[in-house]
Amino acid sequence: MSALPDIIPISELRQDATSVVRRASTTGDPIFVTQHGRASAVLMSATAYEEVQNELGILKLLLQGKRDIKANVGRNMSDVMVDADAILGTA
């Protein structure tokens, strides 16, 4: 991602959507679309969107793990490793 965000007015998107979409796909950087001088939408490539969704999924799992630890839910690591060794035949 570049240091400065790519910001365009919605009128530019209307006039040349193909070029704007190509730019987002080529650079991988999001393009912020403004309407009446305020941020209105963000355009990003499908690949960048998938990456963000994958990262969000990982963060949600980590947050759930943190909640489980706080609630004393789950198993301790040494028990998990013993089971993993048994499954892998390395015990």
pLDDT of res. 46: 96
Q: Tell me if residue 7 falls in helix, strand or coil.
A: strand
Structure tokens at 54: 């994958």
29-79 residue pLDDT tens:
999 999 999 999 999 999 999 999 999 999 999 999 899 989 998 888 898
Structure tokens at 56: 């969000």
Q: Tell me if residue 49 falls in helix, strand or coil.
A: helix
Residue type (1 letter), 26: T
pLDDT of res. 70: 92
58-62, 81-85, 86-90: range with lowest mean pLDDT: 86-90
**Cα separation, 14 vs 52, whole angstroms:** 26
5-37 residue pLDDT tens:
999 999 999 999 999 999 999 999 999 999 999
How many CB atoms neighbour CB 44 within 10 A? 18
Which pLDDT band holds residue 91 (cuts at 50, 70, 90)? Answer: low
